[in-house]
C-alpha cells in the first residue's frame, strides 16, 4: 500500500490468492474496508490525505487483531470541498452502492464481521456508507457491521489536547500525515476557520473557508501525529474487542 | 502506488495538492483512471492482479506523456469468477456510477482528455465503464474519452507470440505479474482451459474452469512479462497520440 | 393543525387559497416544512410525538417571522425503533424524494428561503432530508435551504439543564409533549438507557433499549416543556435572522 | 386532526402509543391511509381541500367500523393544476414509494387489511398509489388492499343529483368543504369548465380551465355537502363490508 | 405488418430508409406508436390480440392522414391477466421507459406530433405510457402528445350497441379480430363475467374471471368487427383533426 | 410476421391462445426472443433491417427445432447511428428491463430454455440484454439462457468469404435483406468505411462513416444472402443442440 514499506500477504486481501483468502475466511476474521476521498486538503496536504490515514490505521489494527484489509476506496462523497480544484466527489448513490456491494460480497464469502473505516468523515458520505451497509445487513442478518471514521475517535480529543476549532486539514490531520507520509507534506502551513452559517445547505461552501482548511496547521508535528495514530489504533482495537469479541492476536 | 518504488507528485493525483492539480489541469493533460478487480486469479496470482497491471502501465504511460493518474479503483464487476472465494464483485450499476461520477468530476475540473484503463476486461465490466463514461459525455460534449483494457492490446498477440487459448491467469497475465510484483507470484503454476458453452449465461461459470485460470502459467517468465508491458506501454502511447494528439514529453 | 386551537390562514399553506399563496410568495417569505415520524415513543407518548413538536415550534416561529408553514409530513425514516410495534418507517429513498419534490416545487412557486424542520432527528432520516434538498439546490442555485431538527437545539442543553443521557422519549421529549398535547401523555413514566454498541449497524436495535426510551421520563414536567419550547422558538428565530436576514414581524 | 373537534386515541394512530397500536393490530382491524394534495382549488377553496375530505370520511368510517386511521399524507401528484400557484406536486415516483413503504410497514405490524383513501383523484396519482401498494402486495401476498378515492363514489352521482360537468373545485367539492371546514371557504363562487383537448398530454393544462375549477360552485351548500359526506361514508362502509368482511361495530 | 397484405414504405417507419424518414419528418407529420400486449385472451383469441387491433387502426388512420407508424411494441403491463399462461407482462417501469425513450427520440428527429395508441387498455399500463410520455414532454415542451387506447373509443359504445358488461376478450374484441385476423380466431366462443371486488388489488385476479374473458363472445361477428374498426378509425381521425389540426390527406 | 408468407400458430407465440401456449410450455421447448433496432442502415436498407434478419432466422430455427418465437422487439440501443435521422434508440436501461421482464415472465410460465437473438449487435445493446437476462437468472437459477446476435455467427466469415472490413449495412447485411425482404432494398449501393478512432467514446460517431454504412454493398446478392441465412440457421441449430440438448424435430 502507498507509503508503507512492504507488502503483507497475511493482511492485504489484494495480495492474497483465492485459496488463501478462503482459508482465512474460514476463521471468521474481521475484515476492514478503508474508504478515503480525493479532495482538496489545503495548500500543504495531498488530495488523498483521508485515504492515507484510514489505510494506515486499518493495517495497524489488522496487524494487532489478525484482520484482513480490503483495498482502499480512495474516493468519497465530498460536500464542503466539492467546488475546489482537485476534488473528485462521488454521488451519495455511488457510495451507497459501493458499501452495499462490498459488504454483500464479503457475506457471500462467509465473512460476518465487517468494519467500514473511512478517513473522510463528511456526514453525507458516512450516511451513504451506513445506508449501503444496512441494506446488506437486511439481506443477511448474521452480519455484524461497524461503520465509523478514525475522526470519530480523533475528534474526541478536541477541546482537550487539541483546539476545539480544529478540523479539515488542520493541526490533527497535518500531524498525522507528517507521521504517515512526511514526504507529501508541503512547506506551507495554512490557517483557517469557518464561519459557515449553521444548518444551511450551501451552493458555495468553499466561500466560507477560503484557505480550504479549518484549524492551525502551524501547530502540527510528526510527533503529535504519531501519538494520534497510536491512540486511534488503541481505541479501534478496544472497540473491536467490545463489538466483535476479538482480542489482540499479536 | 503498490509495488512501485516511490511516489511521484507530478503523476499521481493522490499525492498532489489542490493547487498543484489545478495548475496541471490548466495545461489540459490526459488523465488516466485505472480500474482493476478483486477476484480469483488461480492458485499462483493475487486477487488484485488486474489492478496491479493497469496501474503499472498507467503510470508508465503517464511518465512518458505527462499525464495524470487518478487512484486505482481496485474493484470491478466480475462474472465468470463471481462464485470463487476472494472475489468481491461490484454490480454493473455501481461500476456505471463510478465511471460517470469520476469522468463528470474531471470535466468539472476542466479536464477534457480521459482514458479509463481497466486491467479487468470482462465484457459486462467494460460495458458498464463505457456506459457510465458515455453518460458523462452526454452532459459535457467537449470531453474526449477513451475506454479500454490493457488486455485489448495484449490479446492482440494471441495466436502470434502466445497461444490462442491463453486467458485469465494464464501465460500472459502470470508473466506480467512476475515482472511487476514478482514477490506476489506463488510457486504453483496451474494450467486450465475453458469449455464453457458459447453465448450461455451461466449460474455456475466456475464449473467450466475448475483451476480458475485459462492457459498455461508454466510458460510464464518475468522476461516475457517485461516485453509485454513495454509493448503495451508503447501501443497505449501510440493510441493516445492518434486519439488525443498528445506526443511524448520525456 | 392537531392540538392547536384554531386555524390561521396567514400561516398554514393548507388553509390558503392559490391566490393567497401566490400573493404571499411574492414577498419572498420563509417557508417551513415540518417533518416528523410515526414511531414508538415509549409507553407514555404517542406515535407522532416528533411531528407534534416540529409542528408546534414551526407555527410559533412562523407567527413571529411571518413565515408560511407547509403541511407536516408525519412519517420519517426510523432506524433504532424500526422493529417496534407502531413504527411505520419510510425508506431513505422516499424521504430523499419527498424533500427534493417539495423544495423543488417551492422554488417553482418563487420561494427562495426554505427551512426543513424535523422533529425526528435520526441520522439516516436527516441525511436523507439534506440529500434531497441539496439536489433541489443543484437545480436552482438561488435557493437558501436550512435543514435541522428542533433536537439539534434542545440537545444543546444536555449536560447543562438536562442529564447528558437524555434522549428518545426521555425527560425533554416528555416535557415538551406535556406542554403541547398534555391529553396524549399516558400515566406511565418509563426510564431507560441504551448500551447499544458504538458505531454498530444492528439488526435488532430494540434489544438495546427495551423500554423504548432513553432517559428518565419521571423528571418531566409541562413547565419544563414550555421553557424548552420557548427556548427552541427563540433559537430558531435567531438562526433565521442570521441565515436568511429575516427579523421578527410581530 | 384539522377541523375536527378533538382527538380520539382509539382511531388515530398518531395518538396511540406503541403498545396500544400493537394491541389493536392483534385484532386485525382495517387500517385507512388518507392521502390528499396541496394544490390549487379555485379562488374559494383552500389548497388542502382534498386532504380535508379524505380525512373526514376516513375518520367517520373508522368510527363506524373500528378501523385505525394513519396520519394523512397531504401531498399528491398533481398534473392538471401543476403550474398554478400554491400547488406542491410530488412526482409519481415519490407517491409510489410512499404507498409501498407505508403498506409494507403495516404488513410488518401484522396488519392485513388496508384502505388507501385519497381525496385527490388524479389518474397519475391514483396509478402511483396502486402501483406502490401492488408492489407491497407482491412482497406479502396475505395483504388485502383497497385503493380508491372518495370521488370514485361522489362522481357516481354526476348526471344524477349533480351536473355531469361538475369536477375539481365545483359544486360537490365546494359543498363538502362547506360542511367540513366552513370557515375555510371564501366568499367568491367561481364557475368554470374545461375544454382541454381529449387524451392530450399538455405542457400547460391550466390554460384550459382559467378559473382553476370545473363546475359551478355557486350551487354549493353545506347541506348538500353533509348529504354527500353521509352518502360516501355509507358507501365506503358497504364496500369494506363486501371486500373485507368487516361489519359496523358501533 | 402481421395480418396485412403488403408493406407500405410511405407509412411504416420500419420499411423507410434513414433519408426517407428524414424527408418525411420535415413535413412535421403525426407519428403513431402502437402498443399491445402478449396476454391471455380467452380460449378463442390469440395472445397478441391487443397489438393486432392497435396496429390495424394505426395503419388505417395513417393512410388517411399521411401519418407515420412506428413498429408496434407487442408487450405491455398486464395486471388482471398476469397469472394466466401465456401472459408476458412488462413492469410499469419498463413501459414508462419505453414511452419516454421513443417519444424523446421522435423529438430528436424533429417530430412534434405523437400519438401513442395502445390496444391494451389496462389502467396501470396506460398510466405508465402517459407518465413516460409526460417526462419526454417536460424535456421538450414543443411536443404535442396524445395517449389513448382504441378501447377508449370502442367502449363508448357500451350500453348502446353493445352490452354494458362487455370487456376483455368479449363481443367487441372478438368481432374485431374476426375482421382483422379471422384465421386466428378459434372455434370456441367463451362467455364470462367478472365479480372482482371493486377497488381491490388482488394477488389472484384470474380467480374472478375463470374463462379469462368478460362478455359474450358468441355474439361476435366479423361484420360487427368491421363496423367497429371503421368507427374507431373515423373517431381517431376526428380527434387528430381537433387535437393536431391535421386533416385527411387522401 | 413481416416479410413472411403466412402465420404459424405452432411457432409464433403471438398467434397462440393462452391454453395452446400452456400446453406447449409443458414440453419445455426453447423460446426465442428476437430483438432488432430501428436505426439508420444506409441509403438502400430499411430502418428495421436488424429486426427482419433476427426474425427470419428465429422462425427458421424454430421450425427446425420445435421452438416458440416471441414477438420481435424492433427497437434497440443504438450508439454509432444514434445521431442519424430515423434512428429511435432505447436507453441501455430500457433494454435491460425488457430482457429482465421477458425472461422472468417466461420463467413464470415454466419455460427454462431461452435464446435472446438480436439482429442488432452493438456492444452496449448486447451488454444490456445480457445484464437484464442475468438478473432474471439470479432470480431463477434453473434458467438456461443464451444471448447472441446472428452477426456473432455471420462475422465469423469475415476475412474468409467476405472482406474483413464488412459491417453495418455492408455486403453481408445487404445480401441478407435482398434474400429476406427484396422489395425493401433500394437501388442505391453505397460504399463506406470507418476510421473511427479506436476505443474512443464519440459525441458524433456519424462523422466517421458519412455514408452510414461499413463495407461495399455493391457486392451484395440475394444468393449470398440466402447462403448466409442458411449458414446462420445451421449454426444456430448446432449451438442449440450443444447448449440445450435439443435436436431437430423436423
Q: Do chains B and E touch (3 or more CB pairs under 8 A)?
A: no
**Mean of all residue pLDDT scores within chain C:** 95
Does D250 reside within a domain? no
Does E217 reside within a domain? no
**Mean of all residue pLDDT scores within chain B:** 95
The pLDDT of residue F1:
37
- Dihedral sign (CA C7, C12, C14, C18): positive
Averaged pLDDT for residues E176-185: 98
More confident residue, C15 or B1: C15
pLDDT tens profile C96-115: 999 999 999 999 999 999 99
Chain-chain contact of D134 with E200 (C-beta, under 8 angstroms)? no
Mutation target for E interface from F18, F44, F124, F173: give the one with most E CBs within 10 A. Answer: F18
**Mean of all residue pLDDT scores within chain E:** 95
Of F127, F145, F146, the CB nearest to B123: F127
Residues of C in contact with A200 (CB under 8 A): 144-146, 243
Mutation target for B interface from F78, F130, F199, F240: give the one with most B CBs within 10 A. Answer: F199
Residues of F in contact with E14 (CB under 8 A): 2, 38, 46-48, 51, 74
Has residue F236 got a pLDDT over 60? yes
The pLDDT of residue D8:
76
Residues of C in contact with A143 (CB under 8 A): 203
The pLDDT of residue D1:
38
Averaged pLDDT for residues B71-83: 97
To the nearest whole Å, the CA of A174 is away from the closest chain C CA by: 25
Q: Is residue D129 within 8 Å of D95, Cβ to Cβ?
A: yes
For C82, the closest chain D residue by CA position comes to D105
pLDDT tens profile E40-52: 999 999 999 999 9
Residues of C in contact with A79 (CB under 8 A): 134
Residues of A in contact with C199 (CB under 8 A): 146-148, 152, 239, 243
The pLDDT of residue F6:
55
Q: If contacts are CB pairs under 8 Å, which of residues 4-43 in chain F contact chain E? A: 7, 9, 13-22, 25, 38, 40-43
Has residue A2 got a pLDDT over 60? no
Averaged pLDDT for residues F157-183: 96
Backbone angles phi, psi at B77, to 5 degrees: -90, 120
Chains that touch D (3 or more CB pairs under 8 A): C, E
Mutation target for C interface from A201, A206, A239, A246: give the one with most C CBs within 10 A. Answer: A201
Estimate to the nearest angstrom the gap between the alpha carbon of E18 and the chain centroid.
26
Give the residue among E92, E118, E170, E41 at the shortest CA–CA distance from F14: E41
The pLDDT of residue F214:
96
Q: How far apart are CA C23 and CA C137, in angstroms?
A: 24
**Mean of all residue pLDDT scores within chain D:** 95
Q: How far apart are CA C37 and CA C50, in angstroms?
A: 6
Does E224 reside within a domain? no
Check if D148 contacts E (Cβ < 8 Å).
yes
Mutation target for D interface from C1, C54, C94: give the one with most D CBs within 10 A. Answer: C94
Averaged pLDDT for residues B137-152: 97
Chains that touch F (3 or more CB pairs under 8 A): B, E
Query: Lowest mean pLDDT: which of C152-166, D92-106, D116-130, F26-40?
Result: C152-166
Please name the helix (run of DSSP H) or strand (run of DSSP E) that holds residue A166, with its range, or none: none
Query: Which residue has 476505443 as its cell numbers?
Result: F199
Has residue E1 got a pLDDT over 70? no
Which domain CATH number covers D99? 3.40.50.10310
The pLDDT of residue B31:
98
Q: If contacts are CB pairs under 8 Å, which of residues 189-228 in chain D contact chain C? A: 212
Q: Which residues pair with E27 in a beta bridge?
A: none
Averaged pLDDT for residues A171-197: 96
Q: Is E205 helix (H, G, I), strand (E, B) or coil?
A: helix
Averaged pLDDT for residues C32-46: 98
To the nearest whole Å, the CA of E90 is away from the closest chain F CA by: 5
Q: If contacts are CB pairs under 8 Å, which of residues 172-191 in chain A contact chain B? A: 183-184, 186
Helices A49-65 + A171-180 axis angle, to 10: 60
Residues of C in contact with A123 (CB under 8 A): 123, 127, 130
Give the residue among C151, C67, C153 at the shortest CA–CA distance from C113: C67
Strand segments, DSSP code E, in chain D are: 30-35, 68-69, 113-118, 144-149, 191-192, 200-201, 215-216
- Structural domain of F47: 13-242
Chain-chain contact of C88 with D105 (C-beta, under 8 angstroms)? yes
Q: For residue C247, what pLDDT band results from cuts at 50, 70 and 90?
A: confident
Of E14, E18, E106, the CB nearest to F74: E14
Q: How far apart are CA B12 and CA A42, in angstroms?
A: 17
Q: Are strands C30-35 and C68-69 parallel, antiparallel or unpaired?
A: parallel
Chain-chain contact of F48 with E71 (C-beta, under 8 angstroms)? yes
Considering chain C, what percentage of its residues have pLDDT values greater than 90?
A: 92
The pLDDT of residue A250:
52
Give the residue among B54, B60, B61, B125 at the shortest CA–CA distance from B95: B125
The pLDDT of residue E247:
81
Q: How far apart are CA A45 and CA B9, in angstroms?
A: 12
Residues listed for chain F:
250
pLDDT tens profile F142-159: 999 999 999 999 998 999
Of B1, B21, B45, the CB nearest to A86: B21
The pLDDT of residue D3:
42
Check if B92 contacts A (Cβ < 8 Å).
no
Q: How far apart are CA F156 and CA F162, in angstroms?
A: 9
Has residue F5 got a pLDDT over 80? no
To the nearest whole Å, the CA of A43 is away from the closest chain B CA by: 6
pLDDT tens profile F80-133: 999 999 999 999 999 999 999 999 999 999 999 999 999 999 999 999 999 999
Does A208 reside within a domain? yes
CA torsion angle B22 B25 B30 B33 (round to 10): 30
Does D7 reside within a domain? no
Using a 10 angstrom Cβ sphere, with 0-12 exposed, 13-18 middle and 19 or more buried, the burial of residue A108 is: middle
Q: Is residue A63 within 8 Å of A250, Cβ to Cβ?
A: yes
pLDDT tens profile B126-137: 999 999 999 999
Q: For residue C12, what pLDDT band results from cuts at 50, 70 and 90?
A: very high
Q: Which residues pair with E162 in a beta bridge?
A: E158
Give the residue among C133, C121, C131 at the shortest CA–CA distance from C78: C121
The pLDDT of residue C9:
83
Q: For residue B121, what pLDDT band results from cuts at 50, 70 and 90?
A: very high
Of D7, D86, D90, the CB nearest to C21: D86
Has residue E249 got a pLDDT over 70? no
Q: Is residue E144 within 8 Å of E245, Cβ to Cβ?
A: no
Strand segments, DSSP code E, in chain B are: 30-35, 68-69, 113-118, 144-149, 191-192, 200-201, 215-216
To the nearest whole Å, the CA of B6 is away from the closest chain F CA by: 31
Has residue B1 got a pLDDT over 70? no
Estimate to the nearest angstrom the gap between the alpha carbon of F126 and the chain centroid.
10
ipTM: 0.96
Has residue F7 got a pLDDT over 70? no
The pLDDT of residue C250:
52
Check if D98 contacts C (Cβ < 8 Å).
yes
Chains that touch B (3 or more CB pairs under 8 A): A, F
Averaged pLDDT for residues C142-163: 95
Check if C103 contacts D (Cβ < 8 Å).
no
Has residue E7 got a pLDDT over 90? no
Of E25, E94, E186, the CB nearest to F94: E94
Chain-chain contact of D97 with C91 (C-beta, under 8 angstroms)? yes
Q: How far apart are CA B17 and CA A45, in angstroms?
A: 6
To the nearest whole Å, the CA of D186 is away from the closest chain E CA by: 34
Has residue F3 got a pLDDT over 70? no
Q: Is B114 helix (H, G, I), strand (E, B) or coil?
A: strand
pLDDT tens profile D63-75: 999 999 999 999 9
Residues of A in contact with C137 (CB under 8 A): 201, 203
Has residue E6 got a pLDDT over 80? no
Give the residue among B75, B92, E132, B36 at the shortest CA–CA distance from F133: B92
Check if F86 contacts E (Cβ < 8 Å).
yes
Does A8 reside within a domain? no
Q: How far apart are CA B62 and CA B105, in angstroms?
A: 20
Q: For residue A1, what pLDDT band results from cuts at 50, 70 and 90?
A: very low
Q: For residue D209, what pLDDT band results from cuts at 50, 70 and 90?
A: very high
Does E28 reside within a domain? yes
Q: How far apart are CA B70 and CA B79, in angstroms?
A: 25
Q: Which residues pair with A192 in a beta bridge?
A: A215
Sequence-distant (6+) residues with CB within 8 A of A234 are none
Number of domains in chain D: 1
Does C45 reside within a domain? yes
The pLDDT of residue C192:
95
Residue A51 sits at the vertex; the CA angle it makes with A50 and A55, to the nearest 5 degrees, is 125
pLDDT tens profile A23-60: 999 999 999 999 999 999 999 999 999 999 999 999 99
Averaged pLDDT for residues A91-120: 98
Amino acid at each position: 500500500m502507498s507509503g508503507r514499506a512492504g507488502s503483507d500477504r497475511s493482511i492485504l486481501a489484494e495480495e492474497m490468492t483465492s485459496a488463501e483468502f478462503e482459508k482465512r475466511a474460514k476463521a471468521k476474521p474481521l475484515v476492514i474496508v478503508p474508504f478515503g476521498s480525493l479532495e482538496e486538503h489545503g495548500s500543504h496536504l495531498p488530495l488523498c490525505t483521508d485515504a492515507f490515514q484510514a489505510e494506515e490505521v486499518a493495517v495497524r489494527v489488522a496487524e494487532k487483531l489478525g484482520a484482513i484489509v480490503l483495498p482502499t476506496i480512495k474516493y468519497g462523497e465530498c460536500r464542503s470541498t466539492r467546488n475546489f480544484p482537485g476534488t473528485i466527489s462521488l454521488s451519495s448513490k455511488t457510495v451507497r452502492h459501493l458499501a452495499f456491494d462490498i459488504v454483500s460480497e464479503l457475506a457471500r464469502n462467509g465473512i460476518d464481521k465487517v468494519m467500514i473505516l473511512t478517513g473522510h468523515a463528511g456526514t453525507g458520505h458516512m450516511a451513504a456508507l451506513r445506508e449501503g451497509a444496512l441494506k446488506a445487513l437486511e439481506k443477511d442478518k448474521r452480519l455484524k457491521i461497524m461503520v465509523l471514521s478514525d475522526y470519530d475517535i480523533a475528534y474526541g480529543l478536541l477541546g482537550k489536547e487539541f483546539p476545539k476549532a480544529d478540523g479539515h486539514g488542520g493541526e490533527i490531520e497535518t500531524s498525522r500525515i507528517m507521521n504517515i507520509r512526511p514526504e507529501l507534506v508541503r512547506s506551507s502551513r495554512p490557517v483557517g476557520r469557518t464561519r459557515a452559517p449553521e444548518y444551511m445547505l450551501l451552493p458555495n461552501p468553499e466561500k466560507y473557508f477560503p484557505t480550504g482548511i479549518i484549524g492551525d496547521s502551524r501547530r502540527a508535528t510528526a510527533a503529535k501525529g504519531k501519538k494520534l495514530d497510536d491512540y486511534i489504533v488503541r481505541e479501534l482495537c478496544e472497540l473491536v474487542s467490545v463489538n466483535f469479541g476479538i482480542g489482540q492476536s499479536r
